[in-house]
Amino acid sequence: MKLSRIISNQNGISRKQANLLIASGTVLIDSAPCHDPAREVTVFEQVIQQGRVVQQGMTAHYLMLNKPAGILSATRDSSHTTVIDLIDPAIDELHIAGRLDRASTGLLILTNNGQWSRRLTDPQVKKPKVYLVQTAHPIDDKTVRQFAEGIWFEYEQLRTSPAHLDILSDREARLTIYEGRYHQVKRMFHAAGNRVTRLHRESMGAITLDPSLAPGDYRPLTNEEIRSVTDEATAG
């Protein structure tokens, strides 16, 4: 929301009057004076006008979870344990940035900052997402070429972005994709005539699963990890 609108709404004054107040230098955003009425203010920023708090500012949460198998990537479910059930209930309003299906494991990001999470997961942004994959049948060089060319998804009527498949052993590979569409990895292998038996996400963008986290454990993201999403978006 624009700063002028916040000041106008909180004081019951016109937008023009709000602009004059802001121009006078008496409005602070996170303790710094702001003179720009058109400044977009997020819900996570504190706004003070003439010593009075007009917007407290929510606490932004960014968590890294090592998702165990058998846990739903959902905020609530009446029958199954969800990833939210693993988090301290005092940390509320979280959503999942890039889901994993129930059987899959590994890096899961939870946050209450929707704008930030969209930057991380939007297929158009094309941030790399790396998975360790085990399959029912041997992975051959043909599959590597197919993934590099992109796989046609009939339902969406689109071809996936080129993906990099590094074969580690007969039935194990490390896959890097740049989108994160619905069940994308399993659908790609299915289209290549194979079936995924284990899927573990290692990283999203510049954020890599902390090896010290046991399955079910989580920690806050570091400032560097948080900034990596914003900085990459700005650079792009």
| pTM of this structure | 0.85
pLDDT of residue 236: 39
27-29 vs 32-33, strand pairing mode: antiparallel
Six-digit token string for 155:
């339902």
Six-digit token string for 55:
């917007």
Catalytic status, residue 101: yes
The Cβ of residue 3 has, within 10 Å, a number of other Cβ atoms equal to 25
Amino acid at the residue 211: P
**Is CATH 3.10.129.10 correct for 62-228?**
no
CA distance 34 to 210: 38
* Domain 3-55 matches domain 62-228 at the CATH topology level: no
pLDDT of residue 233: 42
pLDDT of residue 116: 94
pLDDT of residue 122: 86
CA distance 221 to 48: 28
Given a contact cutoff of 8 angstroms between Cβ atoms, the answer to whether 82 and 110 are in contact is no
pLDDT by 10s per residue, the chain, length 236: 999 999 999 999 999 999 999 999 999 999 999 999 999 999 999 999 999 999 998 899 999 999 999 999 998 888 999 999 999 999 988 999 999 999 999 999 999 999 999 999 987 888 999 999 999 999 999 999 999 999 999 888 899 999 999 999 999 999 999 988 889 999 999 999 999 999 999 999 999 999 999 999 999 999 999 999 987 544 43
CA distance 211 to 203: 11
Q: What is 3-55's CATH number? A: 3.10.290.10
Helix axes 223-235, 114-121, angle to 10 degrees: 70
The Cβ of residue 137 has, within 10 Å, a number of other Cβ atoms equal to 14
Given a contact cutoff of 8 angstroms between Cβ atoms, the answer to whether 166 and 148 are in contact is no
pLDDT of residue 187: 95
Contacts of 202 (CB under 8 A, 6+ apart): 106, 107, 130, 131, 132, 174, 208, 209
Candidate list 101, 122, 140, 141, residue with the active-site label:
101
Question: So where are the chain's domains?
Answer: 3-55, 62-228
